[in-house]
Structure 1
Amino acid sequence: MEFRRPSAVAASLLAVLAVGCGSSTSESADSFKGEPKAVATAIDDLQDASSRRDADEICSELLSAALVEKIRASSKQSCDDAVKDSLRDVDAFKLEVVDNGIVVSGTTATAKVRSEAGKDEQVDTLQLVKEAQRRGGKTEQRWKVSALAG
Structure 2
Amino acid sequence: MITGWISYHNSNTKYQLSDFNQGKLFFADHDKNHELKTIILGEIFNTNLSASWVFSSGRPFTSLENLYVESGSGYEIFSKGDYNNERVKSSHHLDISLVKSLEMSKVQIELGFSIYNLYNKKNIAHKRYNPFSRELSIKDISMFGITPSIFAKISF
Give TM-score scaled by structure 2 length: 0.23
Give 1 or 2: higher strand fraction: 2
Q: Considering Cα pairs closer than 8 Å and 6+ residues apart, tell me whether 1 or 2 has the greater RCO.
A: 1
Give 1 or 2: higher helix fraction: 1
